[in-house]
A and B are shown apart, each in its own frame.
Chain A
Amino acid sequence: MTEKRRIELGSLYSLSGSYALISEACRTGVLAAIAAVNADPALDLEFVAVERDPQGNVDLYGPLCEEILRDSSARHVIGCVTSWSRKEVIPTIEKHGGALWYAVPYEGFEASDHVVYTHACPNQHLLPLLNWVLPQFGPRGFLTGSNYIWGWEMNRLARERITLAGGEVLGERYLPIGSREIDRMIEEIRVSRPDFVLNSMIGPSSYAFMQAYRALGEADAHFRPERCPILSCNLTECELPALGEAAEGLIAAGPYFRGATGLAGGHDFGSSHEARAYASVMELARLLAHREGSETWSLAQLLAADSGAGGIVDAETHHTVLPVIIAQVREGAFKTVQRTERVAGDPYLTRGRNFPTAPMLRVVS
Chain B
Amino acid sequence: MKRPIRIQNLGGARAMILHRPHPTVAALTRQLAAIGLQVTQAWPEAGAEAMAQDFIFFDADMGHDEMFPWPVQQAPMPMVALIGSEAPGRIEWALRAGAHAQLLKPVGDNGAYSALLIARDAFDAQRAFYAEIADLRRRLDERQTVVRAVTLLSARGKTEAEAYAQLRQMAMAWRISFEDAAGRIVGGSASEEGGNGKHDRG
Contacts and interface: CB of A to CB of B under 8 A. Distances in A.
A94 B36 contact: no
A90 B11 CA distance: 25
B155 interface: no
30 contacts: A90-B109, A94-B108, A94-B109, A111-B31, A111-B34, A111-B35, A112-B109, A112-B110, A113-B27, A114-B109, A160-B7, A316-B33, A316-B34, A317-B34, A318-B34, A346-B36, A347-B34, A348-B11, A348-B34, A348-B35, A348-B36, A348-B113, A349-B8, A350-B10, A350-B35, A350-B36, A350-B37, A351-B36, A352-B11, A355-B8
Contacts of B33: 316
B110 A109 contact: no
Q: Which 8 A-B pairs have the closest CB atoms?
A: A350-B36, A350-B11, A111-B34, A348-B35, A113-B109, A350-B10, A317-B34, A316-B34
B12 interface: yes
Given A113-B30, A160-B7, 11 more contacts: A94-B109, A109-B113, A112-B109, A114-B109, A347-B34, A348-B34, A348-B36, A349-B11, A350-B12, A350-B36, A350-B37
Interface in B102-139: 108-110, 113
Interface in A94-128: 94, 109, 111-114
Interface of A: prevailing SS? loop
Interface in A128-167: 160
Interface string B8-34: 101110000000000000010011011
A223 B31 CA distance: 44
Contacts of A351: 11, 36
A228 to B, nearest CB: 28
Given A111-B31, A111-B34, A111-B35, A348 B10 contact: yes
A361 B30 CA distance: 37
Contacts of B113: 109, 348
B116 to A, nearest CB: 10
Nearest to B30: A113
Contacts of A160: 7
Interface in A43-59: none
A352 B10 CA distance: 11
Interface in A315-341: 316-318
Interface residues of A, number: 19
A352 B12 CA distance: 10
Contacts of B108: 94
B25 to A, nearest CB: 15
B117 to A, nearest CB: 10
Most buried by B among A316, A349, A350: A350
Contacts of B35: 111, 348, 350
A113 B109 CA distance: 6
Contacts of A317: 34
Contacts of A352: 11
Contacts of B110: 112
A95 to B, nearest CB: 11
Most buried by A among B11, B30, B33, B113: B11
Interface in B32-46: 33-37
Most buried by B among A109, A114, A349: A349
A111 to B, nearest CB: 4
A63 B195 CA distance: 78
Interface string A68-93: 00000000000000000000001000
Nearest to A156: B7
Interface in B62-90: none
Nearest to B8: A355
Interface in A174-205: none
Contacts of A349: 8, 11
Contacts of A114: 109
Most buried by A among B8, B37, B108: B8
A199 to B, nearest CB: 24
B6 to A, nearest CB: 11
A206 to B, nearest CB: 27
A347 B31 CA distance: 12
A238 to B, nearest CB: 30
A94 B109 CA distance: 8
